[in-house]
Structure formats: structure tokens, C-alpha cells
Amino acid sequence: MNISCILNKFMKNAKDNLILSMEKLTGEMEKMNSFSRRFFLGIVFGVGSAIGASIIAATIVTALINLIPPLQDAPFLRK
């Protein structure tokens, strides 16, 4: 085998690997940009943000009620 034959074989393998990688990348990009996936992720992000904000707000209100005694007598906070 001469050097040009070895080089051609290497280039063909590299080209095939590049084509395969590009096909995989194209498939992943199509999946990432699909409307249903983006819609679902948007819903999940929105619900997660709402739950997180509620937990943070409840923690802050509870801390304020326990740390500031006059707030314990507020009529809107009584049980």
C-alpha cells in the first residue's frame, strides 16, 4: 500500500464520521426546536417559578412575623 491509498482511506473515514456527526446534530437541533418541546418546557418553567416564588414569599412573611413582634397582632394575620 502506498501513502496515497492510506491517506484516501483515512479521508473517507473522516468524511463519513463528519457526515454522521452532522446528521446527529441536525436531528438534535430539530428536536430542540420543536414547538411541543418548547411549549412543554415553558409550562414547566412557569409552574416551577410560581412554586419557588410562593415558597420564598411564605418564608419571608413567616420570618417577618416571628422577628417583628407588632406584626403578630396584625388582624389580617390572625388565625
Distance separating alpha carbons of residues 79 and 47, to the nearest angstrom: 28
Confidence band for 77, pLDDT divided at 50, 70 and 90: low
- Do residues 77 and 65 touch, judged by C-beta distance below 8 A? yes
pLDDT in tens, 13-70: 888 889 999 999 999 998 888 888 899 999 999 999 999 999 999 999 888 888 877 7
Nearest one of 32, 33, 13, 9 to 21, comparing CA atoms:
13
Query: If you count DSSP H runs as helices and E runs as strands, how many of each does the chain have, helices first?
Result: 2, 0
- Identify the pLDDT of residue 23: 93
Segment 2-9 mean pLDDT = 77
Q: Determine which helix (DSSP H) or strand (DSSP E) holds 79, and give its type and residue range.
A: none
- Give all strands (DSSP E) within the chain, no chain letters: none
**pTM of this structure:** 0.54
